[in-house]
Structure formats: C-alpha cells, structure tokens
Chain A
C-alpha cells in the first residue's frame, strides 16, 4: 500500500538539543557542587570550626590545617565548609523569599484593576530607586544584626525587582486569547490566575532568580562583612573575610579562602542564570 510506504518514508523526528557551551557546563557543575556543600559542608569539616586554640593561631597552610588557621587558631578549611550553609542557603532563601513576594504582589496588581496596579507598581519603583545594598543595610541594622535579619532585609530590598518582571509578563499573558477563551467560558479571576496566567508567566522570574542568587551571595557577604549580618563566632564567608582582613599582610589565607568562595559562588550562579536565560529564548521549545 502506498500509505504504508509513505509512513516509512517519513523521517523520524529527532529532538534536537542545543549544545551546551563548556563555560555553562562548568557553571552548572559548580552550582551543583556548591549546593551539595551547602547541605553537607558542616558534616565534612576535618576540625571543629569553633574550637579556639590560641597556640595554633595564624598558622600557614600545612598538612594538619590544609588552609591554615585564623587569629584564634580555628581551622580555616573547616570554617569555610561550615560557612557554606549560611552563605549559600542564606542567599537562596533571600532570593526565594523575594521572588515569592514579588510574584504575589504582581498577581495582586494584575487582577486588582488599574488603581491597585498603579499604587503597587509606583511603590515598587520607589523601592527600586534605592540601591539594594543601602536598603538592605538599613533594614538589617534596624532589625538588629543577625543572619536572619540579613535574609529578611534582602527580601525586603529585593522583591520589587521580581514583582516588576512578573507583572510585565502577567500583563501580556492576561490579554492572550487563551485567557480570553477561559473568560468566555466563565472562569473566575482565581482560576484565570492559577490555571492560565501564573503557569505561563513565571519563566522570566525563574531565570531572574537564578541570575540574582550570585548577586545575593555578594550582598549577603557584604552585610556580614560590615557587621549587619552573621555575627562573629558563627562561620559565614562574609564575616570570615572581615575577621581575616586584620591579618591580610601576615596571614592572607584567612580572608582569601572565603573571599574566593564568595567570588566563585557569585560567578557560578550568575553564569548559570545567564545560560538559562539564553536557552529560554522564546524560540526554544519548552519541555
């Protein structure tokens, strides 16, 4: 039969996957390692990150202390590993919290009508006009310096950016014919939002969130560095850089190790976000 022959002649559709550039692969890999460190880091410490031994203070990297010791004789490697959790999870929580609030506010602005939209978005604009660091610093100090305050401060300073991105996307989606079709069917506002608008407008937010984790790590460390975040005895990268800064000329490793980790984390997340954004180009088919 001709139909059978025709069926054979049709070439099998192969799902084409774009090649992932090597830099992106490294970034993804690093992110995975960092996330693993954030979860497992505190369990992998060769020494107790908090045990003070002044006799061993300021030792250079050696067999026993692979990355040396700090001014109080604490093992720098152990502290760096233990600090991964506070630094990375802190940044993750800040971004996740900000994204969540941003999405919520954007949803309210989208279904609330013109007035609500105007008021909410102007408020976002005002908040966005202040530098994130200044804003976060103010809030963190006002709340009393601690790691938790730093996270809360960052959420407060960061959500308007997410709200703006989410709202822009939602406004496009809500006028699309499939949303109108649901309106003609008599769908409630809730259903329109949850079933149609939200699932189709969050790609940009996900990408932005990944991009921002890098920056969040930096701000997080910055807050701790100036004393508005994690407080002295606790192991946190920003705070470690600060403690080590006094010995920068004599014992560089105390600051350089956490400093490098902060840089790597920020870079890895930023590059991953960039890569995700490129792959998420509208032309690409969503899986």
Chain B
C-alpha cells in the first residue's frame, strides 16, 4: 500500500478535549487528542469501548462541541472561519454512521435520502439532474435506479449501509469519516462494505478517518493508526510500525487479543507470551 503523506493535511485536529458529567464527576472522554489526515490517506482510530474514539469523531464533524482544541480544514481553523469555508466543510467532510438501521430516516425514500445533500448545497439544477446524480452514486455503491422509491425498512443492513455511503458520497466529499461502519452488520456482509469503502476511497481519492475496534480490519485498511485508551492517544504512527513494533503496553495487549485463525501459530504465540511473563 503506498503511503500518501505528502502535501498539507486536509483535516487536522489539535488538542481536542471533551468532558462529560457534572462539576463534581467529570470524565474526560477525549483528552488532548491531535491528529492529521493527508488527502487520500486512511487513518484508523482504535481502542476499546469508551476510549473516546467516537467522541473524537463527533467533535471533528461538529456533532459534539469540543471543550478545547480546534479542527482545521485545509489548513484553516473552522472556528471563526467564514461562511464559505464552513459550507465547504459541510460538503466536503461527510460521515458514515455505525448503525444503518437508525441512520436513515424511515419516512424518506432512498431518492430523498441520497438527494438531500444535493438540495442542501443546491448542487442540482433540476429534478432530472438531481435524480441522475442520485442514480449515479447509487450505482457507484452497487445499487441501481430500481431502489429510488423504496423506503429504508425494505433493505437489509448491508444495503442500508450502502445507501448511507451513497448519501455521504452524493455531495462529492474529500474526507469520509466512518464511525465503526461495519460493526453493526452481519459478519458475512462486513467484508463487502469494507471493500466498497476501500474501492470508493481509491476511486475518488478520499481521505478517510476510520474508527474501529477490529484491529485486523484496521491493519488491512489503514495507512496510519492511532491507538486511544481512556480518551488519550497512547500511540500513533504508520500502520506497519505500530502493529509490528508496538511501543505501548496497551497496544501490545490489544494486539495480543487479535484471534489468529491458525491453531498452531496461536498456541505458539500463547506459549511465547507465557514465557515472557515468567521471565518478567
């Protein structure tokens, strides 16, 4: 996998911090998190449940207000940016949610769902142009014009996630932010959706921020990886480095938890780990 690190980052987070709770019992869900994504690069964010991965993403796209820190888009800080920059951010940074069963409005047809961004950003001159663009993205994600008038409830989880991806792609984004986009899907369709995302990323040259707790998936997909634990980034860097030479104990334990689909190698690993514990 070539590693596109050149060029100025298209999306950058600096010192993002977000706490929850009352004055007495605050929890720092996200604590001084910084990262940057170059155009066309894929950044994976991993960590156990509650490590602040999702909240970080939500702060980046503005669904959650960060207590401190800032987000830069194309080198420009979003807070205090002019309207045009903010509008461009809203168009060029799109998100795919975890659960495709709740991320599609049950009372809208596929055409309305996928076409909404086109309406918001006034990107279609006529109804025909709008429909043509909707069909175009639907075909891009492996659906076709026959689904236009159907409602989300008549689709399977995998198909729904395709629709959600089509919605995100319709407005022509440059950054795609994915919050565990396959963890709510059947294992049998997870690979299809992951491959679709990868295909879209390569075809459209998207920068992707990919939150997951499946490390094997991140290793397969991402250029860079950032490991989070209790709101703090404990390790980050190119995927190969982090996975092959983990520096932090937490990363090591995460990696050790990846199941190996080969009983002999798995046994060998466990024996090695046990030996290491004994000598320590």
B-binding residues in A (CB < 8 A): 176-178, 180-188, 191, 195-196, 199-200, 285-286
Contacts and interface: CB of A to CB of B under 8 A. Distances in A.
Interface in B92-151: 93-95, 97-99, 102-108, 116-117, 120-121
B164 interface: yes
Contact of B61 (A184, A191, A195, A285): A184
Nearest to B112: A195
B269 interface: no
Contact of A182 (B99, B116, B153): B116
30 contacts: A176-B102, A177-B97, A177-B99, A178-B102, A178-B104, A181-B95, A181-B104, A181-B164, A181-B167, A183-B63, A184-B61, A184-B62, A184-B94, A184-B95, A185-B90, A185-B116, A185-B117, A185-B171, A186-B87, A186-B91, A186-B120, A186-B121, A187-B120, A191-B120, A195-B108, A195-B116, A196-B105, A199-B105, A200-B107, A285-B153
A286 B106 contact: yes
A285 B171 CA distance: 32
A interface, over-half SS: helix
Interface of B: 61-63, 87, 90-91, 93-95, 97-99, 102-108, 116-117, 120-121, 153, 164, 167, 171
Contacts of A188: 120
A240 B98 CA distance: 62
Nearest to B177: A184
Contacts of B87: 186
Contacts of B120: 185-188, 191
A274 to B, nearest CB: 25
B149 to A, nearest CB: 15
B174 to A, nearest CB: 14
Contacts of A183: 62-63
B63 A184 contact: yes
A186 B62 CA distance: 10
Contacts of A285: 153
